[in-house]
């Protein structure tokens, strides 16, 4: 190995383990060159070996940690809770149409609150005109004096009958919403109003009176008054 070659290799790696390089180190001059190169590498290494930021290892480990046994169970528990919540929510949503219908009835009652205090007397022809649109006939004498009747649009945009007549304790409101059925009777009410909502014909009927009104008795009257055997519904 000539001097030029030795110097080059010595600069690249003063600790070269190649046998030719090692045997060249028997020469004092070469050994001195090797020591100089090793010294330079040492200085360079010292300059580059700067300290790492404090806590670096901890931060890396904290960011990449295997979840503990407890944490894994917590994760499973969270998944289970989420499943239960989903199921409960699903069931609630399944039951929701009935609740929504009763809410809708109360909402409409409050929206048209003024008609409950009407003292108008609706003629039988007017009543017939409205109820016939829904395929029914109403024997008004069976319920009492009718103070209001309209074919109203409810919150779900479905048209139905809105009727008010004089009950025993005050105005009684009847709603009939066609083509939307509930599966059983429910009590409804808000503030001074109480009533029931129940399946009737091909839809749902609601009867609401003031507190103290005998709603069951009114239900019997209303059901007897409505006759659905006549012409098929036009609604």
Partner 1 sequence: MMAKQKRFEQLVQRYSTDMFRYALWLCGNREIAEDLVQEAFTRAWKNLHQLKDGNKEKAWLMTILRNENARRFQRVQPDLVDIEDHAWSMSADSGLEPEEQMERRILRKAMLDLEEEYREPLIMQVIHGFSCREIAETLELTENAVMTRIFRAKQKVKEALTEQTASAMARL
Question: Of the candidates 2, 19, 46, 119, which one interacts with partner 1 according to CB under 8 A?
Answer: 46
Determine contact, residues 1/29, Cβ cutoff 8 Å.
Answer: no
* Of residues 43 and 76, the one with the C-beta less far from partner 1: 43
- Residue 41 CB coordination number (10 Å): 14
Tokens of 232: 């098929």
Question: Of the candidates 19, 49, 70, 114, which one interacts with partner 1 according to CB under 8 A?
Answer: 49
Question: Of the candidates 19, 51, 114, 157, which one interacts with partner 1 according to CB under 8 A?
Answer: 51
* Of residues 59 and 96, the one with the C-beta less far from partner 1: 59
Spatial CA neighbour of 175 closest among 161, 155, 186, 165: 161
* Of residues 52 and 93, the one with the C-beta less far from partner 1: 52
Q: Is residue 57 near partner 1 by the rule CB under 8 A? A: yes
144 Cβ contact list (under 8 Å, min separation 6): 165, 166, 167, 172, 221
Tokens of 31: 């050994």
Q: Is residue 74 near partner 1 by the rule CB under 8 A? A: no
* Of residues 57 and 118, the one with the C-beta less far from partner 1: 57
List residues bridging with 45 in a β-sheet.
Answer: none
Q: Is residue 66 near partner 1 by the rule CB under 8 A? A: yes
Strands (E), the chain: 137-138, 146-153, 159-166, 171-178, 186-190, 193-200, 203-210, 226-227
Q: Is residue 73 near partner 1 by the rule CB under 8 A? A: no
Q: Is residue 76 near partner 1 by the rule CB under 8 A? A: no
Q: Which residues bind partner 1 (CB under 8 A)?
A: 8, 11-13, 40-41, 43-53, 56-57, 59-61, 63-66
């Amino acid at each position: 190995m000539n001097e030029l070659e030795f110097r080059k290799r010595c600069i690249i790696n003063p600790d070269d383990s190649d046998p030719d390089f090692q045997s060249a180190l028997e020469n004092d001059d070469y050994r001195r060159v090797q020591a100089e190169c090793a010294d330079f590498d040492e200085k360079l290494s010292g300059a580059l070996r700067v300290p790492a930021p404090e806590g670096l290892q901890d931060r890396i480990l904290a960011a990449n940690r295997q979840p503990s046994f407890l944490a894994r169970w917590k994760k499973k528990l969270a998944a289970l809770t989420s499943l239960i919540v989903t199921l409960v929510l699903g069931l609630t949503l399944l039951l929701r149409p009935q609740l929504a219908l009763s809410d809708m009835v109360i909402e409409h009652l409050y929206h048209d609150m003024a008609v409950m205090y009407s003292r108008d007397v609706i003629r039988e022809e007017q009543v017939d005109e409205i109820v016939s649109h829904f395929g029914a006939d109403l024997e008004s004498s069976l319920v009492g004096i009718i103070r209001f009747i309209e074919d109203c649009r409810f919150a779900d945009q479905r048209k139905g009958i809105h009727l008010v007549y004089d009950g025993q304790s005050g105005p009684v409101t009847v709603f009939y919403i066609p083509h939307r059925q509930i599966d059983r009777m429910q009590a409804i009410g808000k503030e001074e109003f109480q009533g029931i909502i129940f399946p009737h014909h091909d839809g749902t009927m609601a009867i609401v009176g003031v507190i103290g009104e005998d709603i069951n008795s009114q239900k019997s009257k209303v059901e007897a008054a409505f006759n659905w055997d006549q012409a098929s519904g036009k609604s």
